[in-house]
Amino acid sequence: MKSESTSSIDKKALRASKRELRRQIGADEQHNTAKTVTETALLQPFFRLGNDIAIYMSADGEVDTGILLETLLELGKNCYLPVMLDATTTLEFRQYLPEKPLIRNSFGLHEPGPEAPTIAPELLSAVFMPLVAFDERGNRLGMGKGYYDRTFAFKIRQAHKSLKSPESPVLIGLAHECQRVENLEAANWDVPLKGIITGRKMYQCL
């Protein structure tokens, strides 16, 4: 079956269809994808860049990040979760500490409390990002709020100055293979991904 393209399908409709597809993925497939994504991620060179890594708590059929998070902690990595602050339109990254309970935000997502240590986005070595759809060029369709794009807009500004994208933080999308599309039309403010990891392969984009 030919992949969809945003040149012919409205992003709102594409977002709805891909969210429904990933919600239909069964528990066994989710578990197998989570294991494969973790194994693939550990083989990538960006793990040598540093120990401060951002990850998300999965919801709504997203790739289960539980195995990856547990593995990162076992390897001694400092893991941070994104927090959406009411007063801003960007993300704050707070450290995930297993012994500290998470709180539920207004979107129903779990995140560390305000007492957790934070880190500036520029200091992260790698960021595992959720997405709704992606293409093989590294374009990402999110939930439409633009939090990640605004938070990491400095990568675009730095790339314009130096004619190449700065290495850190490395932005990696996690997705089910069914979320891939043929082409996503990118806006000037969309921050491209270095790669996307699915249960099938690692798509190298930049």
3 domain residue, yes or no: no
What pLDDT tens digit does each residue of the chain (206 aa) get? Answer: 344 444 445 889 999 999 999 999 999 999 999 999 999 999 988 777 689 999 999 999 999 999 999 999 999 999 999 998 876 788 999 999 999 999 998 888 889 999 999 999 999 999 999 999 999 999 999 988 889 999 999 988 765 554 444 567 999 999 999 999 999 988 888 899 999 999 999 999 86
Q: Provide the edge-to-edge strand list for the sheet that holds 170-174.
A: 118-119, 91-95, 78-84, 52-54, 126-129, 170-174, 195-197, 202-204
Residue 62: DSSP 8-state: P
Q: Are strands 195-197 and 202-204 parallel, antiparallel or unpaired?
A: antiparallel
86 domain residue, yes or no: yes
* Whole-angstrom distance, CA of residue 7 vs CA of residue 28: 34
25 domain residue, yes or no: yes
**Confidence (pLDDT) at 5:** 47
Asked if omega into 169 is within 30° of 0 (cis), the reply is yes
Residue 114: DSSP 8-state: T
Give the N- to C-terminal CA distance of the chain in Å, as an integer: 27
Q: Which structural domain range is residue 85 located in?
A: 11-204
How many folded domains does the chain comprise? 1
Asked if omega into 117 is within 30° of 0 (cis), the reply is no
146 domain residue, yes or no: yes
**Confidence (pLDDT) at 1:** 38
1 domain residue, yes or no: no
Residue 23 sits in a domain of what CATH number? 3.40.50.10420
C-beta separation of 104 from 110 below 8 A? yes
47 domain residue, yes or no: yes
**Confidence (pLDDT) at 157:** 73
**Chain centre to alpha carbon of residue 21:** 18
* Whole-angstrom distance, CA of residue 146 vs CA of residue 91: 10
C-beta separation of 61 from 23 below 8 A? yes
**Confidence (pLDDT) at 156:** 82
Consecutive H or E run containing 12: helix 11-23
104 domain residue, yes or no: yes
101 domain residue, yes or no: yes
